[in-house]
Structure 1
């Protein structure tokens, strides 16, 4: 499967790219926004595409053309304002969906946020971010694409535990794990690509007790 990773320079995106590059069954093209990122990836032997999510859909079609799947893990980042969040996390995501539809690429994996589907749980400080994720997810669900939406809990920069818990709406008690290593999120994304149990599913993701394969197969 030929996979375009949008947001390939992010903390999750980089790990997804590396896993796909090492895979025997997938190949990867990294979508990045800076020339130096392209050069760095090419030095590692990784295909890269220089693009801009704020540009026209026709430009994004060139990136998506020839792919079998798209992974969208791009984000404006915590240091930008609500305007960039809407332009990247919402409009950028929808433009990539439109590009995929226009060139006939049907498989689309979205990295969202835990609880993005539940307005009542959104923190006031993060509301613009959750609004962007919520409506990007809705657009993907209504797009007709073969989607998977992964909504991870608090993201950790630590080694994978290879044990997860997933559900369409996870009920988290005070004693439950509310976080997940980014490496586990990346593994879930890569595993989901050709696991039909994840097709047309949206789910919360935290550290749990099941193996990744076992948890995803129960969706």
Structure 2
């Protein structure tokens, strides 16, 4: 499967690219012209693009998309909207036009019902809007909502859904593994679930 990865040079996205290669998928890393591509495995195909101004053909030739991008903790509300909401929605549109088989979205716990008064309220609302847009798109989708992320690799021991502890943690390595699992798993077809690492 040929998979476009948005956010491929980020902390989670780079792990996604590695998992795709290990599982014999072909990763296509969506990168900005200013991205540090040294974090990517040697020989990975790259495709230049910016989530705030995507080309119409950005998904052409790809079988699936994994959205693992994020505006970052230090960005303002406008950039959060442009990347986490509008950028994600634009990529959904490009994926649908290109006929991709599945769109896997990295979201966040709390996006199901964001509290506008919370510290992360604006970010979670942007994620919520992008998730709902994907659900309504007609694409086959999977939406993964991890709790607080750590930079650990994890042990591939995870749990999903209502049993997830709100104050738990999710290792980025585990999250990347789940995102790649969700590409073809029937268990993940049109599913939205919280996740946490328990290993």
- Place the TM-score, normalised by the shorter chain, in its bin: over 0.9
**Deviation at residue 161 of structure 1 after TM alignment:** 1.8
Q: 1:172 aligns with which of 153, 165, 168?
A: 165
Match of 1:47 in 2: 45
Are 2:2 and 1:8 aligned? no
Segments of structure 1 that go 5 or more residues without pairing to the other structure are 210-219
Quick one: which of 152, 168, 172 aligns to 1:182?
172
Are residues 17 and 93 of structure 1, via their aligned partners in 2, closer, same or farther at CA, if it must alter by over 3 Å? same
What's the counterpart of residue 29 of structure 1? Answer: 28
Change in Cα spacing, 1:123 to 1:161, as seen in structure 2 (3 Å) is farther
Task: Provide TM-score, normalisation by structure 2.
Answer: 0.93
Q: Does 1:203 align with 2:193?
A: yes
SS of the residue corresponding to residue 79 of structure 1 reads coil
Conserved 8 A contact 2:105-2:142: yes
Q: Residue 145 and residue 126 in structure 1: after superposition, are their counterparts in 2 closer, same or farther (change >3 A)?
A: same
Distance (whole Å) between structure 1 residues aligned to residue 124 and residue 145 of structure 2: 11
SS of aligned partner of 2:118: coil
Counterpart for residue 110 of structure 1 = 105
Query: Any residues of structure 2 matched to 1:59-78 within 5 Å, and which?
Result: 59=55, 61-78=56-73
Residues 129-154 of structure 1: CA deviation (Å, up to 9, x unaligned): 01100110000111100000000011
| 2:132 aligned with 1:134 | no
Aligned partners of 2:14 and 2:40 also within 8 Å? no
Q: Tell me whether 1:194 sits opposite 2:154 in the alignment.
A: no
Q: C-alpha distance in 2, partners of 1:154/1:123? A: 18
Q: Pairwise CA RMSD of aligned residues?
A: 1.9
Count of residues in correspondence between the two structures: 199
Q: What secondary structure is seen at the aligned counterpart in 2 of 1:110?
A: strand
Distance in 2 (alpha carbons) for counterparts of 1:115 and 1:86: 17
Q: Is the radius of gyration larger for structure 1 or structure 2?
A: 1
Secondary structure at 2:103 match in 1: strand
Superposition TM-score, scaled by structure 1 size: 0.84
Q: Which structure 2 residue ranges, 5 or more long, are not aligned?
A: none
Q: Deviations over 1:41-71 (max 9, x none)?
A: 7871110111111114xx1x32200100000
- The 1:87–1:36 alpha-carbon spacing in structure 2 relative to 1, beyond 3 Å, is closer
CA distance in 2 between counterparts of 1:155 and 1:43 reads 23
